[in-house]
């Protein structure tokens, strides 16, 4: 029989499921008229699973609770076991939409960050859905430099330990250099003497949040 060529176009439905933790600012219930900026935080590989309490005392949600007057809602989804953040894009964005619909959110100020596997996830999600985020801050991550064109318009502040023994700094530097060659809006902060764990130094730096708030989502 001859080979027949064709094209399938069909709408399908997809069910997503993902655990998460949600941090609300201390003044959220008091300031009923305020719209709050949001940071979506993606964790590292060791926190994958189905026990949401693995995220207790960890990451940006935990750090936010220690910063007086922290003014962001923080969403911390949990990547399922044996999965990765690029595989969970639909679930993460659906969770983001749910929080936006059910909380008092400043829809122009939604930010993205992540550490290690989550740093890679932050690069990836920003490239996949750049219209959803005002800025992104990947920590100790990596991304394909050939896809830098997808991130050219995204404000990015990347962070990496110079002595990282888990994700070599060269992997982050490659995408940063590719973005700079294309005129991208990227800043790269490296930590001399630090290895893989750079969350405390980064999320404890109030200048990061000041930088985020300078950016709003660009509407077409």
In tens, the pLDDT along 165-218 reads 999 999 999 999 999 999 999 999 999 999 999 999 999 999 999 999 999 998
In percent, how much of the chain has pLDDT > 70? 99
For tokens 């655990």, the residue is: 19
CB-count burial class (<10 Å; 0-12, 13-18, 19+) for 217: middle
- pLDDT confidence tier of residue 220, bands split at 50, 70 and 90: low
The model carries a pTM of 0.94
In tens, the pLDDT along 29-83 reads 999 999 999 999 999 999 999 999 999 999 999 999 999 999 999 999 999 999 9
pLDDT, residue 12, reads: 84
- Whole-angstrom CA distances from 80 to 54, 125, 213 are 12, 17, 31
pLDDT, residue 44, reads: 96
User: Span 146-174, mean pLDDT?
Assistant: 96
pLDDT, residue 40, reads: 98
Confidence check: pLDDT of 142 > 70: yes
Task: For residues 119 and 124, give the distance between their C-alpha atoms in angstroms, rounded to a whole number.
Answer: 9
- pLDDT confidence tier of residue 139, bands split at 50, 70 and 90: very high
Q: Cβ distance 114 to 138 under 8 Å?
A: yes
Domains in the chain, CATH or no CATH each: 19-213 (3.40.50.1820)
Average pLDDT, the chain: 95
């Amino acid at each position: 029989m001859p080979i027949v060529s064709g094209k399938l176009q069909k709408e399908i439905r997809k069910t997503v499921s993902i655990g998460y933790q949600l941090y609300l600012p201390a003044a959220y219930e008091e300031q009923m008229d305020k719209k709050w900026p949001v940071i979506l935080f993606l964790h590292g590989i060791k926190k994958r699973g189905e026990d949401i309490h693995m995220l207790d005392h960890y990451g940006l949600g935990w750090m936010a609770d220690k910063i007086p007057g922290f003014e962001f809602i923080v969403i911390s989804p949990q990547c399922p076991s044996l999965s990765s953040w690029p595989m969970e894009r639909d679930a993460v964005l659906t969770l983001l939409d749910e929080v936006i619909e059910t909380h008092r959110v400043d829809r122009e100020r939604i930010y993205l960050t992540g550490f290690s596997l989550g740093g890679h996830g932050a690069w990836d999600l920003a490239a996949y859905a750049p219209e959803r985020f005002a800025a992104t801050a990947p920590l100790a991550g990596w991304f394909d430099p050939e896809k830098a064109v997808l991130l050219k318009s995204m404000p990015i502040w990347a962070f990496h330990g110079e002595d990282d023994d888990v994700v070599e700094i060269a992997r982050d530097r490659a995408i940063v250099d590719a973005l700079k060659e294309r005129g991208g809006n990227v800043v790269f902060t490296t930590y001399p003497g630090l290895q893989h764990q750079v969350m405390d130094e980064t999320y404890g730096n109030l200048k990061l949040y000041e930088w985020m708030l300078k950016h709003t989502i660009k509407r077409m």
